[in-house]
A and B are shown apart, each in its own frame.
Chain A
Amino acid sequence: MAGHQTLDQRRASHAWRVVQQVKDEGRDDARREFKLQAKRLPARVVTAGLGQALAFLEAKDYAPHLRAALTDWIGQQVSAAPGRTGDRLLRRVVEGDSDFLRLATAECLAYLQWVVRFAEAEFRDISDVEEV
């Protein structure tokens, strides 16, 4: 089935499964964090670079589902991804060459468009901004 889908359909299908998984876990704070961080991540990637943006999420221990989803998707999509299977994306970015970084950046941003869109649709009850 997957062989007949466009790359963008496969991104959408992967992102959909991730968002459903977060939704099914049912914890409000996890859903809030996922939506907030997903929405902010593309801007951070463009502004600071993919490595810095991922390191920020790790340092704050934000949105583990989001980090796992990116690791899984990029691992599937960008062949010759450096590092061992199961390595998290940040490590691969740090150890990879510049071609890998460019491809991973472009792919992450394309994938995140779907994640953000689905998170907005599925977690409509959650505000875009942090509680003050």
Chain B
Amino acid sequence: MPENVVSAILGLHAQTSLHPGAGTALGIVDLPVQRERHTRWPTIPGSSLKGVLRDACRERYKSEYSGDRQRTNQESPRLRAAFGPHTEAAGESAGALSLTDARLLAFPVRSLRGVFAWVTSPAVLDRLRRDLALCRFGAIDWQVPHVEKNRVMLPSDDCPCLIEGGRIALEEFLFERAGDSDGRIAGWIADHVLPDSAAFDATRARFRRSLLVLHDDDFDHFAQYATEINARIGLDYETKTVKGGALFYEEYLPPETLFYALVLANEARARANGEHPSAGRAMGAVDVFDVLRETLPEVLQVGADQSIGKGYCATRLARGRHD
């Protein structure tokens, strides 16, 4: 990563069910969530995230333009620098803020005790470590553990999900406790990816005791099949019965799902007034990053079905080392 880039990870913690839609994809239901091609794990496209963040930024700056969203979109120099010019002027320069697709970090699964647990896996944690290196997070105090199939690694001895005999029951599957436990993984994630406001104190504490590391295959099963499926219908106005052809099934990721995306801020590609950068000093990477930092809302609505309360995610922005 070049020196003049500011990097960070953006944590997204689902507060309500989430439907990052796959558009025309065919699946076991009519409207599946979007998944990575190679893992089949849920993902939120970087393009969706960028659109949502641009909208939040525009809302934040619109007071400078008498509340006129269109003018804000076209004229705000900070919005243009970070997210790029509005559509008609898109050819002038690229935005200086880059976002990756959001990756799944911890998935909530029903537990016989302790209500639910977050599960993750060595492959997920390995990818997180690589991403943190890319974002120059410096030394990380935990290693990617090795876990056997049908085994589970607990973050602490007081994990609320434990049942008799050192076992954990997730959905209809039993897992034996593996010898070691490492609370540093859950601790690091709680401190850097979950929201840091006081309202999330209890959530972070729960996470520290309830993040389980499973074998990749066991994790994979939950990430693919432990989603919510809702039947949705349309009613005939006159008869109040289901309209023909108006039954469909929609897949949601459950509340408490945890994602992260990488954020990279470059030096702005154009001067604030639209001139070429060579004509004068453009906004630096730190200034561009600050646009995101100061406009990022505590809660972001991501994906479909906003009007039925879906997709509300609490945010956390954790910046990598920047010397």
Contact = CB atoms under 8 A, between A and B. Distances in A.
Tell me which of B28, B29, B217, B247 has the highest count of chain A C-beta atoms within 10 A of its own C-beta.
B28
B225 A105 contact: yes
Nearest to A128: B247
B91 interface: no
A129 B242 CA distance: 7
A132 B229 contact: no
Contact of B172 (A49, A127, A129): A49
B28 A46 contact: yes
Nearest to A109: B28
Interface string A93-124: 00000110110011001001100010000000
Contact of A102 (B221, B229, B249): B221
B173 A98 contact: yes
A127 B228 CA distance: 25
B241 interface: yes
Interface residue SS majority, chain B: mixed
A98 B249 CA distance: 27
Given A105-B225, A112-B28, A43 B231 contact: yes
Given A43-B231, A113-B27, A106 B221 contact: yes
B244 interface: yes
A46 B225 contact: yes
Interface string B193-223: 0000000000000000000000001000100
A61 to B, nearest CB: 22
Given A46-B227, A98-B150, A109-B28, A129 B171 contact: no
Contacts of A129: 233, 242, 244, 246-247
A128 B246 CA distance: 8
A47 interface: yes
Contacts of B228: 47
A106 B217 CA distance: 12
A127 B244 CA distance: 6
Interface in B227-270: 227-229, 231, 233, 239, 241-242, 244-247, 249
A126 B263 CA distance: 50
Nearest to A47: B229
B224 interface: yes
A129 B217 CA distance: 36
Contacts of B224: 106
B139 interface: no
B174 interface: yes
Nearest to B175: A98
Contacts of B249: 42-43
B1 interface: no
Contacts of B245: 127-128
A51 interface: yes
Contacts of B246: 128-129
A116 to B, nearest CB: 8
Contacts of A112: 28
Contacts of B89: none
B152 to A, nearest CB: 13
A117 B27 CA distance: 10
Interface string B299-322: 000000000000000000000000
20 contacts: A39-B247, A42-B229, A45-B28, A46-B226, A46-B227, A46-B229, A47-B229, A49-B171, A49-B172, A98-B173, A105-B221, A109-B28, A113-B26, A113-B27, A128-B245, A128-B246, A129-B233, A129-B242, A129-B244, A132-B239
Interface of A: 39, 42-43, 45-47, 49, 51, 98-99, 101-102, 105-106, 109, 112-113, 117, 127-129, 132
Interface of B: 26-29, 149-150, 171-174, 217, 221, 224-229, 231, 233, 239, 241-242, 244-247, 249
Given A98-B173, A102-B221, A128-B245, 9 more contacts: A39-B247, A42-B249, A43-B229, A101-B173, A102-B217, A109-B28, A129-B244, A129-B246, A132-B242
